[in-house]
Amino acid sequence: MREKHKKHKYDSRCNSRYVIIKSGFNVLKTVVSKLSAAVPSLLLSAAFTAALCGCSSPFEATVQTSGPITDYIRASEPVPENGSGNAPATSGETAPAGASNPYPDLSVPTWLTKVEDTYFLVDCYHNQVIYHDNLEDPLSSWKVMTGDIDKGHTLASDGEVYLIDDTEQNRVLIFEKQADAYIHTQTFQEIGNRPHYIIYHAPTDTFYAWSSMSGEMYLFRHNPGDTRMYLTEIRRIDSLDQVYVRSFTIIGDEIYFVSGNASIIRADLDTFEILETYPVPDQMAGMIQLTRIQDYFYITVSTDITGNQDHATILRTRDLSTLAEGGYEDIYENFIGGGTPYYITQLDNAYYLTEHRLPGHSLWRFCVEDNQITEVEAVY
């Protein structure tokens, strides 16, 4: 049951668009207040939302960026204490949670992040997330956080909960740290089509989870002091439905999508209104991620427009509007080249690049000083 929402920046969307409440709000609020003594809270909430929006949908919810969560699409499903939440979802080969990593190498690593003093590495084709307190020890020293994923790609945390995308099963898994273990405590099922990229955005205290094939962004939050997660909103870029988009990048109050339709989209973070579209050459159409480092946009590329991985590389440009005319430089030679670079993350004072197709070069560390790439080294 939804409770009456109290504070809005935007109300629910109608036909995948936001309705911005600019006038009449206070008048309507007064009318609702007078009715509240006589109308049950559930009907009151429905009437209030319908009057503001002019329509209703079970997939819409209030945008709330601060304060307690009082309106949401759905809550997470708790995992029973003796349930199978940590059992391997794909095969019996993956070690159970808390066990030592059984693999001496990585198979298509996609994401490295650090939460407090612990590193987390998503080992995509081994269907596991592993963790350790340093990057010097061999991979056999790492422990398995979960093997209950099928081709997961990223992990994000606010320090209280840890969200992992379970890409091929259309799930988002929530973990919590209990003593020295990470326990799968909650699950969201039916999260779009191949959820592929999750980040925690501190300014809005929100987890953003991207559905890579449906053009949908799922927003998750929890109340302060309570780890129960709620799906509070779904935003959409209609033109990206059925287009493979591996990631997004939030810069200030804007969000960027490197899309598989040979373009980069810049949109408003709050409304998802498209502000500008930047075409790119066919040879970099299969982009993976855009990252802003100092004065440049760094773009990892998996394939050209035909899916040919021979075009996998890393490019950078100062101005996205010049890409179509070749206004970029190829910097992959700094990392040997020949593989497929994937996601870049910044941890402490360095950057980390995951890569596949090159044995012994699955994770790179590098620095950037005055726009110059320095101290490049293979970590694993």
The pLDDT of residue 57 is above 80: no
**Percent helix, strand and coil across the chain, each to the nearest 5:** 15, 40, 45
- Residue 308, helix vs strand vs coil: coil
Contact 329, 307 (CB under 8 A): no
**Considering the chain, what is the average pLDDT of its residues?**
84
- Give the pLDDT confidence score for residue 358 in this predicted structure: 82
Give the H or E element holding residue 101: none
- Give the pLDDT confidence score for residue 287 in this predicted structure: 98
Stretch 243-266: mean pLDDT, rounded?
Answer: 96
* Residue 95: pLDDT band with limits 50, 70, 90: confident
Question: What percent of the chain lies above the pLDDT cut of 70?
Answer: 79
123-135 pLDDT, tens digit per residue, is 999 999 999 999 9
Using CA of residue 259, residue 205, residue 198, residue 334, what is the dihedral sign?
positive
CATH class of 237-380: mainly beta
- Give the pLDDT confidence score for residue 299 in this predicted structure: 98
Stretch 272-301: mean pLDDT, rounded?
Answer: 98
**Per-residue CA distances from 93 to 129, 146, 147, 153 (Å):** 14, 12, 9, 19
Contact 73, 233 (CB under 8 A): yes
Contact 360, 378 (CB under 8 A): yes
Determine the Cα–Cα distance for residues 34 and 219; give it in Å rounded to an integer: 33
Are the folds of 72-219 and 237-380 the same?
no
CATH class of 72-219: mainly beta
210-245 pLDDT, tens digit per residue, is 999 999 999 999 999 999 999 999 999 999 999 999
Higher pLDDT residue, 364 or 4? 364
The pLDDT of residue 2 is above 70: no
Residue extents of the structural domains in the chain = 1-58, 72-219, 237-380
Q: Which residues contact 260 (CB under 8 A, 6 or more apart)?
A: 243, 244, 245, 285, 286, 287
Q: Hey, how many other C-beta atoms are within 10 angstroms of the C-beta on 328?
A: 20
Determine the Cα–Cα distance for residues 287 and 301; give it in Å rounded to an integer: 4
- Give the pLDDT confidence score for residue 7 in this predicted structure: 35
DSSP conformation class of 100: B
* Residue 28: pLDDT band with limits 50, 70, 90: very low
One-letter identity of residue 267? A
- Give the pLDDT confidence score for residue 124 in this predicted structure: 97
The pLDDT of residue 9 is above 70: no
Contact 229, 220 (CB under 8 A): yes
The pLDDT of residue 34 is above 60: no
Higher pLDDT residue, 53 or 315? 315
Determine the Cα–Cα distance for residues 253 and 94; give it in Å rounded to an integer: 40
- Give the pLDDT confidence score for residue 202 in this predicted structure: 97
Higher pLDDT residue, 338 or 371? 371
Q: How many degrees, rounded to 5, is the angle at CA 235 between CA 63 and CA 123? A: 110
Choose the most confident range, by mean pLDDT, from 21-30, 50-59, 102-111. 102-111
- Give the pLDDT confidence score for residue 33 in this predicted structure: 41
The pLDDT of residue 89 is above 50: no
- Give the pLDDT confidence score for residue 16 in this predicted structure: 37
